[in-house]
Amino acid sequence: METENTIIEYKSIRKVTSGDAGFKELAVTAVCLANTQGGKIIIGVEDKNHKPPPDQVISTDIMNKTVTRLRSLCFNVGLFLNEPERHCNGGEYFSITIQPTLKSLATTSDGKVFIRIGDQCQPARGEDILRIAAEKDAFQWELQPRNINVSEVDLRNFAEEIRSSDRVKEFVKEMSDIEIAEHYNLVYKGNLTNLGALWLGNPAHRSRLVYPLTIQYIVYDELEKKVRKEDWNDYTKNPKDLILDIEKKAIELTYFDEFPDGLFRKKIRHFDARLVRELLINAIAHKSYTISGDIFIKVFPGRLEISNPGGLPLGITKENILQSVSRRNPHLIRVLSDLKLMEGEGSGYDLIYEITGRDAKPFPEIFTDFNTTSVIQYSKVLDEEALLIMDFIAKNYPLSQKELIVLGIVVRHKKILSTQLTKELQLSDDDRMRSYVDRLLEQSILISRGIKKGTEYLINPKLIASAKINVKPSLKTIEPHRLKALIIEDLISYPESKSSEIQKRIAGLPIEEIRKTLLIMEREGSVVSHGAKKTKTYSVAKKN
């Protein structure tokens, strides 16, 4: 089982069998999860070992009583009961899913507000309640008016940039300068809004924002000592000018590696320019402007870390970021999008996954809590062969972004189960995956093996052969009948072997693949087993 984190909480069964105090504690947990990203309360599991007692039985009455009592102890909390589950040790437990409250504050029945910070529930302070309200659109920081008259700023540059963008509709381009500023919520009733001060204001205007936009860029050496620092905290630049200046001065982000490409050398940047732009834009666009803190850009040998104040927007987690859309600062995002500084709405991480997939690099790692969101991107190419394959396919086949993301995943795994691919694409079911893989199968870029949940996907070996790429054979893509023959040969030499021993001798294959094949062979009668679980051994079946 997973350890407790921002969205998972374990509770002993005693919380629902020992009286009212336990239920009140559950209500606090439900409220703090609802006020942040939602989550799951798992009941019947002890905190220390994350296991239920082996003899524990969960009755329907206990489950129904828990949900009924919980609903009476917390307000504005959406929750539903899941089916009971059985741990591998035999003990039963159940869980309650808590949905994030998107438009209201969740409270306990006595009116108290709690928030989730890390794996702890804490009472909300005044400033915390303001932040929660901002997340739920009850308070929109961008639209709050400032006592700055529009006559104090120049609207012409912004208006002309909008008129020159091909993302902006004609009726907007025909507006006057002041009408354009009002259309984008930079001006309200003759005064600048917070967003207007951020984008159009002078340094004095921006400095009077409660939490203005400030950025630090820090470079570290191999020993993680600071070797260079740039900062933007003088409020002289709006978000667009900040982005352009950072890209100009962050020379460490432009370094590259060279890889053989026929008679030439292919240059692969440590961090693709579009990826850097998208990560930077995400940090600025989704920063919480109701909380103090700088955006940090940290460059280490081999990785880039960008962190910004505020957790992920409500409803967004690192497990659904590819397939969900939520905007903390929707009006700022519209300006950035219409000025072509960022991808279309909700497509930023799709682009990041496409770029890292094409360059055979790790997908970004996301860490978040109530106060901070950090994204780590590593620069190392995982597999030079995968890079060559992706480059050949991208040059010779017109593919969609979704298809390039799929290929990036399949190529790095060599072979992947449909269930695992669905998980990596953050899809809710296998049916939705068809739009990702059907054309790749039709064009014979991918081939599949097996049926239903046992379906596996891999790059078509014929495509690799036609590409004339020097790719070394891998046991991961070995055909099932060849793997069976290989296991038979191994067991002839080493009878009474455990699956782990076979896996060590047939290097390059995961233990799950060996166990699955042994199970099939045992059913077919080509091998026999002795013992159970950890002591189980296999031998070649004797012919009659």
Q: Examine the fold and report which residue of 180, 207, 234 is the final residue of a domain before the chain moves on.
A: 207
Q: Please give the average per-residue pLDDT across 182-199, as a whole number.
A: 95
The reply to whether 405 falls in a domain is: yes
**236 and 309 part of one domain:** yes
Task: Summarize pLDDT for 212-234 with one digit per residue, the tens.
Answer: 899 999 999 999 999 999 999 99
The reply to whether 2 falls in a domain is: no
Q: Take residue 247 and report the two structure tokens written for it.
A: 């890209």
Q: Take residue 364 and report the two structure tokens written for it.
A: 């970004």
More confident site: 230 or 105? 230
Q: Specify the pLDDT at position 48.
A: 64
208 pLDDT tier (thresholds 50, 70, 90): confident
The lowest-confidence range among 319-328, 352-361, 371-380 is 319-328
CA angle 31, 34, 39 (to 5 degrees): 110
CA–CA gap between residue 12 and residue 490 (Å, rounded): 48
Closest CA relative to residue 121, chosen from 251, 197, 11, 282:
11
Q: Specify the pLDDT at position 196.
A: 96
The reply to whether 240 falls in a domain is: yes
Q: Examine the fold and report which residue of 318, 350, 378 is the final residue of a domain before the chain moves on.
A: 378
**170 and 69 part of one domain:** no
Residue 49 has pLDDT above 80, yes or no: no
Residue 195 has pLDDT above 80, yes or no: yes
Q: Take residue 310 and report the two structure tokens written for it.
A: 């505020």
The reply to whether 383 falls in a domain is: no
**67 and 155 part of one domain:** no
**166 and 98 part of one domain:** no
The reply to whether 387 falls in a domain is: no
**461 and 496 part of one domain:** no
Q: Specify the pLDDT at position 127.
A: 65
| pTM of the complete model | 0.69
**470 and 485 part of one domain:** no
CA 159 vs. chain centroid, Å, equals 35
The reply to whether 353 falls in a domain is: yes
**320 and 436 part of one domain:** no
What CATH number is associated with residue 57? 3.30.950.30
**283 and 305 part of one domain:** yes
Task: Summarize pLDDT for 484-535 with one digit per residue, the tens.
Answer: 888 888 898 889 999 888 888 887 778 888 888 898 898 888 999 988 877 8
Q: Specify the pLDDT at position 476.
A: 66
Q: Examine the fold and report which residue of 191, 207, 223 is the final residue of a domain before the chain moves on.
A: 207
What CATH number is associated with residue 529? 1.10.10.10
**20 and 107 part of one domain:** yes
**169 and 241 part of one domain:** no
Count structural domains, the chain.
5
More confident site: 51 or 221? 221
47 pLDDT tier (thresholds 50, 70, 90): low
**230 and 363 part of one domain:** yes
CA–CA gap between residue 246 and residue 248 (Å, rounded): 5
**467 and 400 part of one domain:** yes
Q: Is there a contact between 538 and 529 (Cβ–Cβ < 8 Å)? A: yes
CA–CA gap between residue 436 and residue 368 (Å, rounded): 28
The reply to whether 186 falls in a domain is: yes
The reply to whether 449 falls in a domain is: yes
Indicate the angle between helix axes 511-524 and 480-493, nearest 10 degrees: 90
Domain of residue 406: give its range.
395-474
What CATH number is associated with residue 301? 3.30.565.60
More confident site: 191 or 116? 191
Q: Specify the pLDDT at position 314.
A: 63
